[in-house]
Amino acid sequence: MVMKLDLVRCETAERIREIWQTYHKSKFCIASSIDADQFAPVHQIVSKFPSYVVPLVRSSQGAEFFYFRQDGNYWLFYRLAEVQLRREEAAPALKVVYYFDFFDDKKLVLMRGEIDPVALTMIESQFLLNQVQVCYLDPRRLQSVVSFNRNPEKFNWNELLDDIGMSAEKK
C-alpha cells in the first residue's frame, strides 16, 4: 500500500479520498477512490470470469486488442499481440491494483494503475478500465465475457468488433 494505514485509519472516507487523489495528482498513473457498494458487483462478476479481450480504437491504426486478466486484487491489461508472441513473459501495459483496506469500515476501495507509457496514454488506460466495467455490467456484453471464459473456441470476435463499430464487413 502506498499509504501509511495507521496514520489515516481514523480519517473519514472523504478525507482518505482527498489524500489519495492529492498524492497521485502529479504521478503518471491513474488513481481513484470508489464506493465499496459500487465496486462490489463488478468485483464479484470479474472474479467469476477473470479474463477477456478489450479493443482500443486507435484512429490511425484501427483497433488494438488488450487481454484483460484479473489476479486477486490486480487487474492486468496486456497487448494481445505481445501475449500471443511472448506468452508468460509478456509485460502488462497497465497494472491496476485495488486496495480493500477500507472496504468494511469506510466503505471505500482505493485504486491505482501503473501505465507502460510506451504502450498506453493515461486516457487510453482509463478507457480500458472503463470498458471492462461496461462489458461486465451490461447484460448483453456480459454474454460475450462468459463465452470468452467458458467456451473460448466459440468466442465471436466479429460481435466484439461490432460493439466498437469495426465489423469485418467495414474493413
pLDDT value at 73 more than 80:
yes
Q: Which residues contact 144 (CB under 8 A, 6 or more apart)?
A: 52, 135, 155, 156, 159, 160, 163
Q: What angle do CA 96, 132, 67 make, to 5 degrees?
A: 75
Dist CA 49 CA 144 (whole Å): 11
Would you state the pLDDT for residue 162? 73
Any bridge partners for residue 163, and if so which? Answer: none
> Rounded CA gap, 101 and 70, in Å?
19
The pLDDT of 42-54, averaged and rounded, is 95
Whether 69 contacts 78, CB under 8 Å: yes
Name which of 88-92, 131-135, 156-160, 167-171 the model is least confident about. 167-171
Q: State yes or no: pLDDT of 169 exceeds 60.
A: no
Q: Binning pLDDT at 50, 70 and 90, where does residue 166 land?
A: low
Q: Which residue has the higher pLDDT, 8 or 118?
A: 118
Per-residue pLDDT of 81-109, as tens digits, reads 999 998 889 999 999 999 999 999 999 99
Instruction: Provide mean pLDDT across the span 30-54.
Output: 95
Q: What is the mean pLDDT of residues 110-139?
A: 94
Q: Are the CB atoms for 20 and 7 separated by under 8 Å?
A: no
Round to whole Å and give the CA distance between 74 and 22.
22
Cα gap 134→141, rounded to integer Å: 8
How many Å apart are CA 97 and CA 83, to the nearest integer? 20
Residue whose cell numbers read 470470469: 49
If you ran DSSP here, which 8-state letter would residue 116 be given? -
Query: C-alpha distances in angstroms, 134 versus 46, 91, 120?
Result: 12, 24, 20
Spell out the domain ranges in the chain.
5-170
| pLDDT for residue 3 is more than 70 | no
pLDDT at 46: 96
Give the dihedral sign, CA 100/102/106/110.
negative
The pTM score is 0.88
Chain mean pLDDT for the chain: 89
Q: How many CA atoms lie within 13 A of 101 on its CB side?
A: 16
Say what percent of the chain tops pLDDT 70: 92
